[in-house]
Structure 1
């Protein structure tokens, strides 16, 4: 199966209910942390802020849930995407501005090669954040369109994770349902106190 066929086989619209259903059954506080979907006006406002259309998978995710209730500590639920909490449209806009500013500053200051496309880019759209500030993003560059990456601040290069959100969700579901390691991300799932999902390194 080629990559385009694989992406078509793993549609976010089909996989998200499976993922959310697992949360509801096994980590109810995670499921309760999900916020209602973004409105058409909120999605249009985000796209206006970005200056380009959202990838269809990310737009579909936001239409289902506009992020999670913001976490203030590691004891709060909601970091069920590899230890990251989903951002709402405002958070996405803010973090994308930060990355665009970092890339622009690097170009102006003459260290573009160390930053642009490595730790920041104006077409990286973050969709989830950890308490330490690490980010998951959907790449909106032409050759990398739709890919999911992870930025760990302090690391010299972003980490490529999946060709798309649909494939990411498929692998998350498989890992959760079998409580099996997720080699792509180097983590394994663990249920903490019967209420929230943690992803343990290793």
Structure 2
């Protein structure tokens, strides 16, 4: 197993201990066509760990098992979304962000090259280099920042704040599993 698969398995086991219907909510791997479509929209390939995640499953039909760093209680609000839905969210945020919108309609290859030079990761509006993978149902997302060694970040659509929460997807899943095991956070099943 890969580091990401091990991390996801550890998290899934902790979630299963707390949400009985979680196993039934697991989905099959993302269809190749959905991954190809999403990568075409982003104008770049998925980072390795994110692609691995979508080879394990295409989202998880239970939400509320990944924590929010904006919540004082570190409440679990997020769930992994299907690859196609994540690409649609990315497009929506690109359209809504004035700085990103300036390059949105360019061909994806040109958009990717321009975003490398003009959109620093610290920018508080939506950044074309961020690939969402989880959402909370209220418009906030967890994303992988392709410009920063694939760090995991959280984006609040209301405040446009961004917080980086882990240096990798596998680290984020392992940290979440460990916190659940120690009782520091609990999944919140809102489905």
TM-score for the superposition, normalised by structure 1: 0.71
Matching residue of 2:128:
122
| Total equivalences in the alignment | 163
Question: How many Å separate the matches in 2 of 1:127 and 1:107?
Answer: 21
Matched, 1:80 2:58: no
Q: Which has the higher contact order (CA 8 A, sep 6+)?
A: 2
1:69-90 CA-partner distances (Å, limit 9, x unpaired)? 3xxxxxxx42211211211011
Residue equivalent to 1:145: 149
Say if 2:15 is the partner of 1:11.
no
CA drift of 1:105 comes to: 5.0
Q: What do the CA deviations read for 1:89-109 (whole angstroms, capped 9, x no partner)?
A: 11111011122223455665x
Partner SS state of residue 154, structure 1: coil
Q: TM-score, length-normalised on structure 2? A: 0.75
Q: 1:78 to 1:107 in 2, by over 3 A?
A: closer
- How far apart are residue 34 of structure 1 and its match? 2.2
Whether 1:175 aligns to 2:175 is no
How many angstroms apart in 1 are the aligned matches of 2:101 and 2:139? 23
CA distance in 2, matches of 1:107, 1:97: 10
Q: Is residue 86 of structure 2 the alignment partner of residue 92 of structure 1?
A: yes
Question: Is there any run of 5+ residues in structure 2 with no aligned partner, and where?
Answer: 68-76, 103-117
Aligned to 2:19: 27
Q: Secondary structure at the match of 2:21?
A: helix
Detail structure 1 runs of 4+ shifted over 4 Å in the superposition. 104-108
Q: Describe the SS at the equivalent of 1:172.
A: helix
Once the two structures are superposed, the pairs formed by residues 51-90 of structure 1 within 5 Å of their partners are 51-69=43-61, 77-82=62-67, 83-90=77-84
Deviations 1:130-174 (A, max 9, x none): 121111111112xx1301111112224311111110110111111
Contact 1:30-1:79 within 8 A present in 2 as well? no
The answer for unaligned runs of 5 or more in structure 1 is: 1-9, 70-76, 181-188, 191-196
